[in-house]
Amino acid sequence: ILVNTEHSTEPVEGRNDEYILIRDAEDPRLGMYDKPLPCFGCGIGWFSLLLGFVFPFMWYYATILYFRSYYHRDPRERAGLAASAIAVSANLEIGVFFSFVVILVAYKVLNSFLVRVYFD
């Protein structure tokens, strides 16, 4: 039987003075994501999503991080970054819709103004 002598899978090995790192023998990455996420523990993606309602530039920043695969560093970031990318998509759709409305209203106003000028 091969035993890894660096890390123990048993919580106590008779040592009372020292702590021993407990890790899963099959998956050494198990303890990799024990540290808290940045930005007050919610991650860059969710923090950018919340802050984006005040500063929409943050949505674009998180979207760039999403498309550059920033979540490979920490997979817990993926959901928040994707949510920010969806917010950018919705923001662009709303912006395009309002642009068409403004153009339509401007056309109607200009058209009615020109009709009054030429036919009055």
Least confident among 18-22, 32-36, 48-52, 61-65 = 18-22
Quick check: is 38 in a domain?
no
> Rounded CA gap, 34 and 104, in Å?
54
**Integer Cα distance of 59 and 112 in angstroms:** 40
Q: Per the domain annotation, does 4 fall within a domain?
A: no
Task: Determine, yes or no, domain membership for 39.
Answer: no
Is 55 a member of any domain? yes
pLDDT for res 96: 81
Q: What gap in Å lies between CA 115 and CA 108, rounded to an integer?
A: 11
Report the pLDDT averaged over residues 85-99: 84
- Paired with 22 in beta bridges are 8
Total tally of structural domains belonging to the chain: 1
Residue 88 domain boundaries? 44-119
Instruction: Tell me whether residue 107 is in a domain.
Output: yes
What average pLDDT score do residues 88-114 get?
A: 83
**Amino acid 26: pLDDT:** 65
Point out the least confidently predicted range of 14-28, 31-45, 83-97.
14-28
Query: What integer is the mean pLDDT of 90-117?
Result: 81
Number of other CB atoms surrounding residue 8 within 10 Å? 16
